[in-house]
Amino acid sequence: MALIVPEDTNDLFYFTRRSIGDGKAMAWVYKPTCPKCSKAKMGKPVDEKTGKVKIRAKEYVCPSCKYTAQKEEFEETCTMEILFTCPHCKKEGEATTLYKLKSFDGIKAYVFECPFCKKKIGITKKMKSGKSAGDDDAGDD
């Protein structure tokens, strides 16, 4: 299965490029089509007065039929696609996982498994590092 790398972020819920130890990852989640009308892509609601997307919205809305789905339930049905270089075995690969944060090394991350060495890899928020990351000089300030 060859993943299709997105050319534009307008069709995406989520996109990131991360360094993971000695490896790296590029991950994205495509906006799915509306489950009710199948005509448009689901997205966050747009403020009618300003025309801007509501950043911290608790739901996703179809712009065509106005179908609304709760954020937590809807995001768990989405699939994250990942192109990566494994920090353990250094091989390049592809993976898919649910678009759901899980606990990994004590922090929230999108977790997937390297198909070559079978080790788990986590994509965390920026500037977060897990327990196994170098804690050599923590708290020396």
Same domain, 104 and 87: yes
Same domain, 51 and 65: yes
CA-to-CA distance for 19 and 22, rounded, in angstroms? 7
End-to-end CA distance of the chain: 48
CA-to-CA distance for 16 and 84, rounded, in angstroms? 12
Number of domains in the chain: 2
Same domain, 43 and 86: no
* DSSP run (H or E) holding 104: strand 102-104
The tokens of 30 are what? 């495509």
136 pLDDT higher than 50: no
Same domain, 27 and 40: no
Same domain, 98 and 116: yes
pLDDT digits (tens, 9 = 90+) for 30-74: 988 898 998 899 988 888 888 888 888 899 999 899 999 998 888
pLDDT digits (tens, 9 = 90+) for 110-133: 999 999 999 999 998 776 666 655
User: Nearest to residue 76, comparing CAs of 29, 113, 23?
Assistant: 29
Which three-class secondary structure state does DSSP give residue 9?
A: helix
Same domain, 57 and 125: no
Handedness of CA 99, 103, 105, 106 (dihedral sign): positive
Residue 41 belongs to domain spanning: 33-77
Same domain, 113 and 71: no
pLDDT digits (tens, 9 = 90+) for 70-114: 988 888 889 999 999 999 999 999 999 999 999 988 899 999 999
H-state helical runs in 9-138? 71-75
CA-to-CA distance for 41 and 47, rounded, in angstroms? 17
CA-to-CA distance for 88 and 92, rounded, in angstroms? 11
